[in-house]
Chains A and B, each alone.
Chain A
């Protein structure tokens, strides 16, 4: 029973990873790519690690998987935010059909 639940979580995680990578290839802009890929891939990898934790239980490797989930959820949004800020400051234009740019309004006011 444990193995079936863990296999379910691992398959869901890999599906999210695949969707995130398709978004990385398909979308037109740096900011859209960042939005699609980083969130999807973080959620998918957390699903894989949760499946590994259910498979191993409270052993050494399971606790390490849980620690890795906590660390990934803490650091990944920070890295994505820093990348978006750096890209905006280095002068990369938005896509031509984007409708609003709040960060530019804030910084020029």
Chain B
């Protein structure tokens, strides 16, 4: 039963990767962005399914770091510089938010 679930997950993931690589009618640099969107999809799965609050916090932290990479790739392929400003601002905001979530998990108030 465990083996069957493992095989099902592997088949779904491999079919998505092959679908993006072979059959998607977009330019090659847009395929890179589609792979990053696949990463977003996996993190969103963990946010929806996570058994505890700590799982959701971990996935949210990771989603923030992925968005920084996505902004960097957008800055390369659209040739607009101000996406890097968004990346730096998002890094700051994500760090503060994750620290606040960690304090909230400990069960304390924010000023202790």
Contact = CB atoms under 8 A, between A and B. Distances in A.
A20 B102 CA distance: 21
A68 B58 contact: no
Contacts, number: 149
B7 interface: no
Contact of A68 (B42, B84, B95): B84
Contact of B105 (A14, A25, A45, A87): A87
A105 B73 CA distance: 45
Interface residues of B, number: 45
B69 A89 contact: no
A44 B70 CA distance: 11
B11 interface: no
Interface string B46-61: 1000001111011101
A88 to B, nearest CB: 9
Interface of A: 6, 10-11, 13-14, 17-18, 20-22, 24-26, 30, 33-34, 37-38, 41-42, 44-45, 48-49, 51-52, 55-56, 60-61, 64-65, 67-68, 71-72, 75-76, 78-80, 82-83, 85-87, 89-90, 92
Interface of B: 9, 13, 32, 35-36, 38-39, 42-43, 45-46, 52-55, 57-59, 61-62, 65-66, 68-69, 72-73, 75-76, 81, 84-85, 87-88, 91-92, 95, 98-99, 101-107
